[in-house]
Amino acid sequence: MSLYGMMRTGVSGMNAQANRLSTVSDNIANSSTTGYKRASTQFASLVLPSSGGAYNSGGVETVVRHHISDDGSLRFTTSSTDLALKGNGFFVVSNSAGTPYLTRAGSFVPDAQGNLVNAAGYYLMGNPIVNGQTNSVINGYQGLEKINVKQNDLVADPSRKGTFTANLPAGSAVVAAADLPSNAAANTAGTAKYTAKTSLQSFDNLGNLVVLDVYFTKTGEDPITKNATWEATVYNKADAAASGGFPYSKPALTTETYNFDGVTGKMTSADKSLSVQIPNGQLLQIDMSATKQLAGDYTPIEAKIDGSTPSPIENVDIAADGTVVARYKNGAQRAIYQIALAEVPSPDKLLVLSGNVFSPSAESGDVQFGRPGKGSFGTLTSGALEESNADIAQELTEMIEAQRSYTANSKVFQTGADLMDVLVNLKR
């Protein structure tokens, strides 16, 4: 047996246990760090070749593993910008220089400029939503920008989509073509007749209120099948006469015809929408598919049209799919960002950096991007934080075991040193 080899093995064991104690100390220190992923020390034996009659002791080497793929428990908060993930996904963040990183630390708050930043100073990244669309890239960071929830400028949201549902009275009389609201002569003379009227509010590009006068008129009915035809004519209320109706100073904005089944009362038209070009605004598409012709009076059931007047953001909500929705002081809501998530094939092989962030490595694989709730990116919870996955009780147990193992290895080294003294003193 080599005394030198025995001492070298003891040193190897002490060094391994010292590494183990280092990871334990990190875990205990970060047991309250949001999104922290515990580290553990893995041991592997070192074996040296031995010859007949002599054994060469080897040693032990250590590899530190970060348990990044293990979820921590959730702790719920009162802030809508506190975000927690369950699953394989990571938030995409950047430092002040714009360098992107991955993290699970979702304690975001607005800074002085309104950018969402976490406790380590990293900014949450996402794709801006423009006209209801996002331009996201699934294999690169292109298109991502800091999510800003302040936006001091006033935002006017023009109307683009809507829904209108009503019951059209089946027993109403048919109006002659010469008297229809869509008839230019009837409008000019102010003699137009109609079955029912509804006014809807919408908004142009500048956020101005545009009131739409919608006239529903029964234009025909089959005496046998009772299949009926109705006409919907839309005017701009601003063009109405002083009395508030016909004649209008300008032609109708649009006229659509709808067919209804005489048995079920359901709309049978191929096109079940009402398309209106808002003056100085967008093309408004109103879904009319749920409107029916049944017995009884004319009854509006649902009327929704998007858009809003100019107003600053009052607060934001973050949906489970990662959509950041701005709530304005006038009560309007608008989706402004889509939070991007990232994942890698081997998350435990990510490079661990200061600030509780990670960077891809050759062993972790390439980064792929997606959205919460899609594929394997995991789920997003607003108003919650992912706690550290380090367990204090487990870490204290590890610390005691490492301490005892370190002491045992030191005894091996001490015994080797004592025997070395005996060997050196043999010639005296």
- Say how far apart CA 125 and CA 117 lie, in whole Å: 10
Q: Are 402 and 24 in contact (CB under 8 A)?
A: yes
- Specify the higher pLDDT residue, 55 or 13: 13
pLDDT tens digit string along 296-308? 999 999 999 998 8
**Structure tokens that stand for 325 in this block:** 């929705």
CATH 2.60.98.20 residue ranges of the chain are 156-310
State yes or no: pLDDT of 152 exceeds 80. no
Select from 62, 63, 48, 64 the least CA-distant residue to 16: 62
User: How many angstroms separate the Cα of 172 from the Cα of each of 30, 168, 230, 246, 255?
Assistant: 74, 9, 11, 21, 20
pLDDT tens digit string along 23-82? 999 999 999 999 999 999 999 888 888 777 777 788 899 999 999 999 999 999 999 999
Q: Are 311 and 330 in contact (CB under 8 A)?
A: yes
The residue whose two tokens read 């998007």 is 306
Instruction: Give, in degrees to the nearest 5, the angle at Cα 117 between 116 and 123.
Output: 90
For residues 7, 10, 12 and 17, what is the CA-based torsion angle, rounded to 10 degrees?
A: -160
| Total residue length of the chain | 428
pLDDT confidence tier of residue 424, bands split at 50, 70 and 90: confident
The pTM of this model reads 0.67
The residue whose two tokens read 């294999």 is 139
Please name the amino acid found at residue 175: V
pLDDT confidence tier of residue 102, bands split at 50, 70 and 90: very high
- Say how far apart CA 182 and CA 144 lie, in whole Å: 49
- Say how far apart CA 336 and CA 333 lie, in whole Å: 9
pLDDT confidence tier of residue 153, bands split at 50, 70 and 90: low
- CATH number corresponding to 156-310: 2.60.98.20
Longest dimension (CA), the chain: 134
What is the structure's pLDDT at 428? 63
For 126, the enclosing helix (H) or strand (E) is strand 123-130
